[in-house]
Amino acid sequence: MDQAAILRKFVLGVEAMRAGDQRGEDNFGSDFMKLRRLSTKYRTEKIYPTNAGEKEENVKKNRYKDILPFDHSRVKLSLKTSSQDADYVNANFIKGTRKPEAYIATQGPLPNTVIDFWRMNWEYGVKVSSSAPCFLFCAVQKKCERYFPLLGEDPSSFGPFRISCESEQSRPDYFIRTLSVEYQNETRRVTQFHYMNWPDHDVPSSFDSILDMIGMVREQQDHEDVPICVHCSAGCGRTGAICAIDYTWNLLKAGKIPEDFDVFQLIQEMRTQRHSAVQTKEQYELVHRAIAQLFEQQLQLLQSPSDAEIPDGMDEGIPLSCNVLWVTWERRLTRVLPMCTIPVISVLRLLMSLFLLKSCSHELVLQPQSSAAGT
């Protein structure tokens, strides 16, 4: 089965699940309950122990007493900035499509763990951070300590780390910040993608900005040589959703969506690495629907003509070699930039047309020609 057929099969499957839910079948809910039962089994049978997080000296470093890192995949800190530093942080590695430590899934820092958060980012060379936290008081509980200054504010110091905000770009529903991190006379930069409108234990009203943010993340870092740090409040629900969508995005970019691709299996595997990854039924459904939307975008891009056809909008008077080159570039665009927004695609196509115009010395007609005079 080719990639297009696999993508269509998944999209139709999600549509069928949603249609069934509208008839009262609760397909997403029943699937999610299976995931919860498996996670309960992991906990009660100690299949994945959490001994480090249960230690007395580490209990105060956990935001929630029931969200502890599994020992087998937990992030261990060896960078020492003081005699009080230990190796514990409430964080787990989650494997990616190419590397076993592609993501660091972690809780939002507490006042007493901000230094540990920056120790972790520094030790593992994190260059990109994605967050969906609330830095304000939600009800009576603060969900995440702010570990960076805003643009225009004075630099913040956390132990030996000095953090400055060099730039900030506002996008629909999220911010992109460039943070300067100084430690022992060395300066590094971390690009932070901060999603603002994602309620705790709930989902955003639209997936467009989530997909846009993940696309921007991968424009910033298109490899898994160093992990991407992802956090929310507990580091499991929204964090797991972002990791699952990004993981699928990487498979799609490589043209390696397997024929048996299954979100249930993907999240089940993630839950063996980070406790309660994708925490609610609503988040579970969001992952399905966001991936379906991602696949639909890719299917639209894959609808390019065969080499034997004259593409719509191309002049039949243009040499065949130029027409073939156009098609070749169109196909390369679909492989390399599966998440391109329409404006980006338009700009790239304009650049292609200008190149062909110069190379072939013919005028390219970018809009389909009318079939009848006067229309």
Alpha helix positions (H), the chain: 3-22, 27-44, 51-54, 56-59, 114-123, 208-220, 237-253, 263-270, 281-302, 320-336, 342-360
| C-beta of residue 208 within 8 angstroms of C-beta of residue 217 | no
Report the pLDDT value the prediction gives residue 249, as an integer from 0 to 100.
Answer: 96
Residue 172 lies in a domain: yes
DSSP state of 26: -
Whether pLDDT at 361 is above 60: no
Report the pLDDT value the prediction gives residue 206, as an integer from 0 to 100.
Answer: 80
The region of weakest confidence among 118-132, 201-215, 268-282 is 201-215
229 among known catalytic residues: no
Residue 138 shares a structural domain with residue 13: yes
Residue 141 shares a structural domain with residue 235: yes
Residue 153 shares a structural domain with residue 243: yes
The region of weakest confidence among 2-6, 46-50, 176-180, 360-364 is 360-364
What range does the domain containing 182 cover? Answer: 3-300
The model's pLDDT over 131-187, given as tens digits with 9 standing for 90+, comes to: 986 544 443 457 899 999 999 999 999 999 999 999 999 998 999 999 999 999 999
- For the segment 341-354, the average pLDDT, to the nearest whole number, is 60
Whether pLDDT at 350 is above 90: no
Residue 164 shares a structural domain with residue 134: yes
Report the pLDDT value the prediction gives residue 205, as an integer from 0 to 100.
Answer: 75
Report the pLDDT value the prediction gives residue 196, as an integer from 0 to 100.
Answer: 87
Residue 333 shares a structural domain with residue 255: no
Residue 312 shares a structural domain with residue 171: no
Last residue of a domain, one of 300, 315, 342: 300
Residue 127 shares a structural domain with residue 222: yes
Residue 295 shares a structural domain with residue 318: no
User: 71 versus 348: which is more confidently predicted?
Assistant: 71
- For the segment 304-321, the average pLDDT, to the nearest whole number, is 45
Residue 289 lies in a domain: yes
Mean residue pLDDT across the chain: 85
Residue 69 shares a structural domain with residue 143: yes
Report the pLDDT value the prediction gives residue 34, as an integer from 0 to 100.
Answer: 97
Whether pLDDT at 313 is above 50: no
Q: How confident is the model at residue 1 (pLDDT cuts 50, 70, 90)?
A: confident
Residue 224 shares a structural domain with residue 332: no
Last residue of a domain, one of 300, 320, 343: 300
The region of weakest confidence among 29-43, 52-66, 132-146 is 132-146
Q: Cα(first)–Cα(last) distance of the chain, in Å?
A: 42
Residue 315 shares a structural domain with residue 260: no
- For the segment 27-32, the average pLDDT, to the nearest whole number, is 97
Q: How confident is the model at residue 362 (pLDDT cuts 50, 70, 90)?
A: very low
Q: Of residues 229, 232, 236, 322, which has the active-site annotation?
A: 232
- Alpha-carbon dihedral of residues 235, 239, 240, 244, nearest 10 degrees? -160
Last residue of a domain, one of 282, 300, 318: 300
CA gap 173, 44 in Å, rounded: 39
CA gap 7, 11 in Å, rounded: 6
Report the pLDDT value the prediction gives residue 136, as an integer from 0 to 100.
Answer: 42
User: In this structure, what CATH number is given to the domain that contains residue 17?
Assistant: 3.90.190.10
Report the pLDDT value the prediction gives residue 198, as an integer from 0 to 100.
Answer: 78
CA gap 95, 87 in Å, rounded: 21
Residue 186 shares a structural domain with residue 287: yes
Q: How confident is the model at residue 374 (pLDDT cuts 50, 70, 90)?
A: very low
Q: How many domains does the chain have?
A: 2
User: 347 versus 307: which is more confidently predicted?
Assistant: 347
